[in-house]
Amino acid sequence: SIALEEFGLPYNTMLVNIGKGDQFKPEFLKISPNNRMPAIVDHDVDGEPMTVFESGAILWYLAEKTGQFLPTDARGRKEVLEWLFWQTGNQGPMAGQLSHFVNYAPAGEEYGKKRYGGEYDRNLGVLEKRLSDREYILGDYSIADIIAFPWVLIAKPLTASLDDFPNVSAWRGRIKQRPAVQRGVNLMKDQ
């Protein structure tokens, strides 16, 4: 939702009730064979609608489609790919595991919280260093920021602190002020 708001694209949100197993229904698996969100269907194409699943792929697809938030030079494109892969291979999975152990693991399960809390902090350290001399991951706001932001936004509910990561905290604050980000974060809050 943040990306669609940032790109200024019209969209409809379709809720998938994972508690009822909607993600395993054949019609959803045609869109997202990994039965995960997010996934999009782009009807604004020639021919059959285009389905795209996985956050990094969706962001790349939309950035290419709109010509926004994606560097045009070879070095910039290489860097945005590195940070997309960093997020999908490190920050996202580690934060997701931390979320599981904070929110769903049986009481007294401390190993998982400690393990993934450490990995979450390690990834914050990677981002902290990257942001030491720039306002955004690539210098200019890009899909690298859009993909990394949500897991930093929810640091407190994950029982993590940004106190040791002032550059990340400032980056988080800058992104939170963007009107499109606010609209995306607040999507469906009244439901």
Task: Please list the rounded mean pLDDT of every run of 10 residues in the chain (191 residues).
Answer: 96 92 96 95 96 97 97 97 98 97 91 96 98 98 98 96 98 98 89 64
Query: What does the alpha-carbon distance between residue 165 and residue 162 come to, in Å, rounded to a whole number?
Result: 5
Per-residue pLDDT, 191: 64
* pLDDT (tens digit per residue) in 37-93: 999 999 999 999 999 999 999 999 999 999 999 999 999 999 999 999 999 999 999
Residue type, 172: R
50-53 and 39-42 beta bridge pairing: antiparallel
Per-residue pLDDT, 130: 98
Query: What does the alpha-carbon distance between residue 2 and residue 95 come to, in Å, rounded to a whole number?
Result: 19
Per-residue pLDDT, 109: 85
Rg (CA), the chain: 17
Per-residue pLDDT, 185: 95
Q: Is the pTM here over 0.85, yes or no?
A: yes
Count other Cβ atoms within 10 Å, centred on residue 99: 17
Per-residue pLDDT, 190: 74
Closest C-alpha among 122, 119, 126 to residue 101:
119
Per-residue pLDDT, 163: 98
Percent of the chain as helix, strand, coil, to the nearest 5: 60, 5, 40
